[in-house]
Amino acid sequence: MQLTKLAKNHWVLAAFLLACLIYPFVIDSRYLTRVAMEVFFFAAMGNAWNIIGGYGKQTSWASSTFVAVGAYTSILLFVRHGNISPWISMIPAMGLAVVLAIIIGLPCFRMRGVYFAIATIACTTIFRQLLIYFSDFTGGSLGVAFMIRRGNSLWNLHFDSAIPFYFIALAWLLITVGIVTYIERNRLGHYLRAICDDQDAAESLGIKSSGVKLTAFIVSGMMLSVTGVLYVFQLGFADPNTFASHDMSVRIAIVAILGGMGNKWGPTVGALVSVPLLELSNAYLQHIGGGGAGWVMYGLLIVIIVLFKPNGIISIFDNFDLKKLGLGGGASGRP
């Protein structure tokens, strides 16, 4: 397992962290700082997806539902119920994520393979349509936006500069990596890998596969929900197309799959590649085909990775000798 060698290579990790720490000050561009923040958020969501999709090989397309639950819970509590702090509304957000994970998970985990994939898509679609339908409560397809907010407040998660949020996102990314590492080393991780290798064999050894999957799904959903809370306070609004769409689920899953499924650094690597590619090409190729050019490149990247590096970008580093690679090559913080 050279992958773990990469992960355990403290030098690469330290270089990455250092690059992340000085990045916003060196770059000194609000836009590029926000792009990096987007990278961290998507890496964190990819990490959450990785628990169920990577380690458990249950390709879930329901991620956006959990992100949307977090986002809507916190923004509605803030806007409609007297500025309740996002740090407090994280608790009901996580609670709702657990409930939803059970509602979605119980029927879906009885299915396998493509049936599971399509069932999760069906659940997300139902959720999105309900968000649009109950427009009195959720603002319909227009969504909810914050009133104008002023001043810096960590309690209300609002800052004039992009830099504090950048560090919050970075911290949350590191926490999610920590959670994934913890799961990887503990019983849940071993069970998940056993199920993913051969579900029937794992069950015959006494592992209750649906229970294990459901636990992983709940953990993953809670992490996505928290990310949704942070993300919506950074973005300033919540609408079904940004948060609850199928595209969002796809982007989350693709971050992890591009980077490398079942690898705790995979989603980070995947986000470092895919998010800047999409953001920058949307920004600079805007005039070509109404932004279509950026998405063509994104799609081609997915196709190329699936065809030639099915184990993800991180598997490119498998064949490298890290000592030859030196410190700077593997993980630069520059998206």
Partner 1 sequence: MLQVTVNGLLIGGVYALIAVGLTMIHGVMKIVNFAQGDFLVIGLYLTYVFYQFLPDGALPYWLILPVAASMYLIGCIIFKLSINRVIGQGDSNYILLTIGLSFVIQNMLQLMFGANFRSVPISNELRFGSFEMFGTIFTIPRVIAFCAAALFVVFVNWFLSRTDVGRAMRATSENRVVAESLGIRTSRIYVIAFALGTMFAGVSGLLLSPMFLVFPTLGAAFSTVAMSAIVLGGLGNIKGALLGGIIIGLVESFVSTYISVTVALAGINLVLMLVLIFRPYGLLGKRRRTA
Sequence-distant (6+) residues with CB within 8 A of 120 are 60, 61, 62, 104, 108, 249
Instruction: For residues 182 and 203, give the distance between their C-alpha atoms in angstroms, rounded to a whole number.
Output: 23
Say which residue the tokens 């009133």 belong to.
Answer: 147
End-to-end CA distance of the chain: 27
Instruction: For residues 90 and 227, give the distance between their C-alpha atoms in angstroms, rounded to a whole number.
Output: 10
Instruction: For residues 255 and 117, give the distance between their C-alpha atoms in angstroms, rounded to a whole number.
Output: 17
Task: Tell the smallest beta-carbon distance from residue 266 to partner 1 (Å).
Answer: 13
Contacts with partner 1 by CB under 8 A: the residue count is: 49
* 307 near partner 1, rule: CB under 8 A: yes
* 88 near partner 1, rule: CB under 8 A: no
* 117 near partner 1, rule: CB under 8 A: yes
Task: Tell the smallest beta-carbon distance from residue 119 to partner 1 (Å).
Answer: 6
* Choice between 154 and 296, CB closer to partner 1: 296
In the set 126, 154, 171, 283, which binds partner 1 (CB under 8 A)?
Answer: 126
> According to CB under 8 A, which residues from 138 to 197 bind partner 1?
none
In the set 10, 147, 148, 200, which binds partner 1 (CB under 8 A)?
Answer: 200
Q: What is the DSSP letter of 286?
A: T
> According to CB under 8 A, which residues from 57 to 76 bind partner 1?
57, 59
Task: Tell the smallest beta-carbon distance from residue 110 to partner 1 (Å).
Answer: 5
* Choice between 174 and 293, CB closer to partner 1: 293
* 273 near partner 1, rule: CB under 8 A: no
| Residue 32 burial (CB count, 10 A) | 19
* 43 near partner 1, rule: CB under 8 A: no
* 111 near partner 1, rule: CB under 8 A: yes
* CA of residue 272 relative to chain centroid, distance: 12
Q: What is the dihedral angle through the alpha carbons of 133, 134, 138, 140, rounded to the nearest 10 degrees?
A: 30
* Choice between 136 and 200, CB closer to partner 1: 200
* 310 near partner 1, rule: CB under 8 A: yes
Task: Tell the smallest beta-carbon distance from residue 242 to partner 1 (Å).
Answer: 16
At position 265, the amino acid (one-letter code) is: W
* 302 near partner 1, rule: CB under 8 A: yes
In the set 21, 91, 171, 303, which binds partner 1 (CB under 8 A)?
Answer: 303
> According to CB under 8 A, which residues from 245 to 264 bind partner 1?
246, 250, 253-254, 257, 261
* 208 near partner 1, rule: CB under 8 A: no
At position 181, the amino acid (one-letter code) is: T
In the set 31, 133, 137, 182, which binds partner 1 (CB under 8 A)?
Answer: 133
* Choice between 112 and 185, CB closer to partner 1: 112
DSSP secondary structure, 134-199, as one string: -HHHH-GGG-EEPPP--S-BTTTTB-SSSHHHHHHHHHHHHHHHHHHHHHHHSHHHHHHHHHHH-H
Task: Tell the smallest beta-carbon distance from residue 295 to partner 1 (Å).
Answer: 4
| Residue 327 burial (CB count, 10 A) | 15
Options 114-122, 162-170, 174-182, 263-271: segment touching partner 1 (CB under 8 A) = 114-122
Which helix (H) or strand (E) is 76 found in, with range?
Answer: helix 63-80
Which helix (H) or strand (E) is 238 found in, with range?
Answer: strand 237-238
Sequence-distant (6+) residues with CB within 8 A of 195 are 56, 57, 202, 207, 209, 212, 213
Q: Which residues bind partner 1 (CB under 8 A)?
A: 53, 57, 59, 107, 110-115, 117-119, 121-123, 125-126, 129-130, 132-133, 198-201, 246, 250, 253-254, 257, 261, 288-290, 292-296, 298-303, 306-307, 310
